[in-house]
């Protein structure tokens, strides 16, 4: 019983650590990565929206995640592409998101 409680607490702390690392923090870099040029595949069906690729912070560097076709989550939703923001400390990536 004691081991089960210890494991449960460890799992909760582990996930809490991942949430804190990825949400709300800005990871600054001095030199932005080169733009990625991608040939967009054909749309699989009418009504789908192209979601541009995104940069994600992994292991002390931004890593490119390829774009994909997605059905809009709600009527009239618009995909807002991610973009770089430059500040005095460097640049950081703002992820793409759905605007309703």
47, part of any domain: yes
36, part of any domain: yes
Domain count for the chain: 1
- Determine the pLDDT at residue 15: 47
- Determine the pLDDT at residue 19: 39
pLDDT tens column, 4-61 = 545 554 554 444 444 334 447 899 999 999 999 989 999 999 889 889 999 999 999 9
20, part of any domain: no
- Determine the pLDDT at residue 76: 84
- Residue-number span of the structural domain to which 78 is assigned: 28-99
6, part of any domain: no
18, part of any domain: no
DSSP β-bridge partners for residue 50: 69
| Contact predicate 38/66, CB 8 Å | yes
């Amino acid at each position: 019983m004691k081991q089960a409680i210890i494991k449960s607490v460890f799992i909760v702390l582990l996930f809490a650590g991942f949430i804190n690392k990825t949400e709300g923090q800005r990871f600054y870099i001095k030199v932005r990565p080169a733009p990625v040029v991608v040939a967009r595949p054909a749309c699989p069906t009418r009504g789908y929206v192209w979601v541009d690729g995104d940069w994600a912070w992994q292991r002390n560097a931004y890593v490119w995640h390829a774009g994909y076709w997605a059905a809009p989550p709600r009527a009239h939703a618009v995909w807002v592409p991610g973009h770089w923001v430059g500040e005095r400390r460097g640049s950081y990536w703002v992820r793409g998101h759905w605007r309703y």
